[in-house]
Amino acid sequence: MTDRQPKGIWRLTVRSDFAAAHALRNYCGKCENMHGHNFAVEAVVEGDRLTPDTELVLDFKVLKQELKGVLEMLDHKMLNEMPPFDVMNPSSENLSRFIYRHLAERLSGREDANGVRVHAVTVSEKAAQSATYMEL
C-alpha cells in the first residue's frame, strides 16, 4: 500500500450556440445548397489543479466568455465566404476543430486559466447528431 494519492483531473463543460449558413461542397444531396442552422456547441476543458483562493479549475464565467468570443467569429455568417471555410468544407467536423483550436489559443493567453487545456469540442446541427473534435 502506498501513501500517494491518485492524480485526478476535473472536466468543466459549457454549452452555447450560434446561427450560420453553409453549403457542403461535393455533397450529393440537399445540403450542397446554401442552408442555415442553429449550431449547438459544447466545450469541455480539463485541469489538474484548483486555484488556491477559490478552489476552482477555471471560473465558468471565463470559459463562457472565451467560447463566446470564438463563436462571435461564426455567428450570423455565411461560413463558405470566410476563411478557412472559403477553402475547407464548413462541416460540423471542421467547425468543431476550428472552435477547439481558437478556444485553446484564447485560453493559453490567459494568466488566470490555471493550466487548463481544451479536452473536446462538439458541434451539432440537430440534437440527434454531432461531431466531436479532440487532440491527442
Q: Residues within the annotated binding site for Zn(2+)?
A: 22, 35, 37
Binding residues: 22, 35, 37
Catalytic option among 42, 66, 119, 125: 125
31 counts as catalytic: yes
CA-closest candidate to residue 118, choices 102, 131, 130? 102
Q: How wide is the angle at C-alpha 124 spanned by C-alphas 47 and 33, nearest 5°? A: 145
Active-site option among 32, 72, 76, 135: 76
Return the closest-CA partner of residue 74 out of 99, 45, 91, 100.
99
Catalytic residue IDs: 31, 76, 125
